[in-house]
Amino acid sequence: MTRELFWLTLTVILTGLLWVPYVLNRCQVRGLGGAMANPSRNDKPQTEWANRLMFAHDNAVENLVIFAPLVLILNAIDYSTKWTVLACAVYFWARLAHVLVYAMGVPVLRTLTFTIGFLAQAVLALAIFKIF
């Protein structure tokens, strides 16, 4: 496994687990039956951190759709540099930080961590064309 694929794997695992805390909160607020029922406008609202975490999860999934193909394309063309490895590592840590600051409700840091992740994706896209 390349180092880029290692960071992709960690990112997929992180993204795949993000739903757990907010679903546990849903069970706590609405009870197990309420959490498994179809959504309703009359549902008890979840805590604010859980709502923000749900949005962070959605954002992580949306960005994984960009990150994963970039890494897989680099793997397919057998292109790896210290910059592609670093970009993948930075992307993972930026996404983890994004989830944490989003759930805590820190707007400026949320935007900053998102931007860092975006820039890491840009490095990977440029590397595909061997510009980086």
Predicted confidence at residue 132, as pLDDT, reads 74
Tokens 């989830």 -> residue:
99
CATH number at residue 74: 1.20.120.550
Number of domains in the chain: 1
Predicted confidence at residue 11, as pLDDT, reads 98
pLDDT at 69 over 80: yes
Tell me what the mean pLDDT of segment 78-103 comes to: 98
The pTM of this model reads 0.94
Predicted confidence at residue 26, as pLDDT, reads 96
Average pLDDT, the chain: 97
Residue 57 pLDDT grade (very low, low, confident, very high; cuts 50, 70, 90)? very high
Instruction: Write out the residue range of the structural domain in which residue 108 sits.
Output: 3-128
Tell me what the mean pLDDT of segment 49-74 comes to: 98
Tell me what the mean pLDDT of segment 49-72 comes to: 98
Tell me what the mean pLDDT of segment 34-50 comes to: 93
Cβ(106)–Cβ(56) below 8 Å: no
Neighbour tally for 38: CB within 10 Å: 5
If we measure between CA atoms, which residue out of 44, 116, 128 comes closest to residue 84? 128
Cβ(12)–Cβ(94) below 8 Å: no
Q: What percent of the chain has pLDDT over 90?
A: 96
